[in-house]
Amino acid sequence: MKFDFLTGFVQDVARARNAAKDMERMNLMGDTELAQRGLQRNEIATYAFNKHFKRR
């Protein structure tokens, strides 16, 4: 049981790091480039979080 908790925690840390990398990359994009991906600047964090934590 404790091992499952620890494994889940480590996986969540990895997901959070990946989401942060995506947010950083997308924040460097121009508005046109984001629009081509169907995003607005204010949607970056939500998009990255949903992508890496499988919430849709």
One pLDDT digit (tens) per residue for the chain, 56 residues: 667 888 889 999 999 999 999 999 999 999 999 999 999 999 999 999 999 998 64
Count of the separate structural domains present in the chain: 1
pTM (predicted TM-score): 0.80
Question: Is 2 contained in some domain?
Answer: no
Question: Is 38 contained in some domain?
Answer: yes
Question: Is 31 contained in some domain?
Answer: yes
Domain span at residue 42 reads 9-53
Long-range contacts, stretch 14-20, CB < 8 angstroms, 24+ apart: 15/52, 15/53, 16/52, 18/52, 19/48, 19/49, 19/51, 19/52, 19/53, 20/48
Question: Is 16 contained in some domain?
Answer: yes
Question: Is 28 contained in some domain?
Answer: yes
Question: Is 4 contained in some domain?
Answer: no
Q: Name every residue whose Cβ is closer than 8 Å to that of residue 16 and which is 6 or more positions away in sequence.
A: 52
Question: Is 3 contained in some domain?
Answer: no
